């Protein structure tokens, strides 16, 4: 890979992590949790109001796809966003999590309680 491709890749990764960090902070969770594997999944479950054992679903092939879809929908609802935004979180999370984190959206509470 050329140096330019690596640089763009690293910029995208840093923006995605920063966006998720801000989402965690908006939801009252520790931002640094965005960089800790599995703990970030636990925090996401906590933000969207799902039980902690859902993290295990991330480890099961094919089940994790359904989990990601439900998480995207619930995350959008937790911040008062629509189904279109949920689709963006599911398909282009590296773009939509920074929009959610740095944009004007406010955390309204767990999705399954709204």
How many whole angstroms separate alpha carbon 72 and alpha carbon 69? 5
Q: What is the pLDDT along the chain (114 residues), one digit of tens a residue?
A: 788 899 999 999 999 999 999 999 999 999 999 999 999 999 999 999 999 999 999 889 999 999 999 999 999 999 999 999 999 999 999 999 999 999 999 999 997 665
pLDDT given at position 111: 79
Cβ distance 27 to 47 under 8 Å?
Answer: yes
CA distance 4 to 45: 36
Map tokens 């282009």 to a residue: 92
Backbone angles phi, psi at 41, to 5 degrees: -65, -40
The domain locations on the chain are: 3-113
Cβ-based neighbours of 11, under 8 Å, separated by 6 or more: none
Distances (CA, A) of 71 to 2, 4, 11, 104: 35, 33, 25, 20
Cα(55)–Cα(38) distance, rounded to whole angstroms? 7
């Amino acid at each position: 890979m050329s140096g330019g491709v690596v640089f763009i890749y690293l910029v995208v990764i840093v923006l995605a992590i920063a966006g998720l960090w801000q989402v965690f902070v908006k939801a009252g969770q520790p931002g640094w949790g965005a960089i800790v594997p599995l703990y970030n999944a636990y925090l996401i479950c906590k933000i969207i109001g799902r039980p902690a054992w859902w993290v295990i679903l991330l480890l099961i092939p094919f089940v994790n796809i359904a989990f990601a879809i439900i998480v995207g929908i619930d995350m959008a609802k937790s911040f008062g966003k629509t189904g279109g935004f949920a689709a963006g979180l599911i398909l282009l999370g590296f773009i939509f999590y920074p929009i959610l984190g740095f944009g004007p959206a406010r955390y309204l509470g767990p999705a399954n309680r709204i």
